[in-house]
Amino acid sequence: MTDFEPGNRFVLEELVSQIKAGNCILFLGAGVHAAPTENSKYIYPKAQRPLMANDLAQKLAEACDYQKKFPGEASLDLSRVSQAFEITFGLERKGLVDFLDDHLRNGKAPSPILRMLAALPFKIIVTTNYDDLFETALRESKPAKRPNVLVYNPAPTQPTTDISEDPTEERPMVFKMHGDLDKPESIVITDEDYITFVQRMSDKDSFHPIPQTVRFRMQRWPTLFIGYSLRDYNLRLLFRTLRWRVDPANYPPAFSVDRTPDPLILQIYQNQRRFISFFSYDLWTFVPWVYKEVHGKEFEL
Predicted local distance difference test score (pLDDT) of residue 151: 96
- What are the tens digits of pLDDT across the range 84-130? 999 999 999 999 999 999 999 999 999 999 999 999 999 999 999 99
CA separation for the pair 148, 54 (Å, rounded): 31
Percent of the chain clearing pLDDT 70 (strictly above):
92
CA separation for the pair 254, 11 (Å, rounded): 10
Please give the DSSP secondary-structure letter assigned to residue 259. S
Predicted local distance difference test score (pLDDT) of residue 37: 92
Across the chain, the runs of DSSP E, i.e. the strands, are 25-28, 124-127, 148-151, 173-176, 223-226, 254-257, 277-279
Name the CATH superfamily for 9-40+110-295. Answer: TPP-binding domain (3.40.50.1220)
Find the mean pLDDT for residues 41-48. 96
Predicted local distance difference test score (pLDDT) of residue 7: 57
Label residue 248 by pLDDT band (50, 70, 90).
low
Q: Does residue 85 or residue 236 have the better pLDDT?
A: 85
Predicted local distance difference test score (pLDDT) of residue 3: 46
- What are the tens digits of pLDDT across the range 158-197? 878 899 899 999 999 999 999 999 999 999 999 999 999 8
- Residue 55 CB neighbour total at 10 angstroms: 14
CA separation for the pair 155, 292 (Å, rounded): 42
pLDDT at residue 297 greater than cutoff 90:
yes
Domain edges within the chain: 9-40+110-295, 51-104
Find the mean pLDDT for residues 34-58. 94
Predicted local distance difference test score (pLDDT) of residue 300: 86
- Beta-bridge partner residues of 255: 224, 277
pLDDT at residue 5 greater than cutoff 60:
no
User: For residue 278, which phi and psi values (nearest 5 degrees)?
Assistant: -95, 135
Q: Taking the CA of residue 228 as centre, how many other CA atoms within 13 Å lie in the half-sphere pointing to its CB?
A: 26
pTM, two decimals, is 0.92
Label residue 78 by pLDDT band (50, 70, 90).
very high
Give the strand order in the sheet containing 25-28: 148-151, 173-176, 124-127, 25-28, 223-226, 254-257, 277-279
CA separation for the pair 79, 7 (Å, rounded): 35
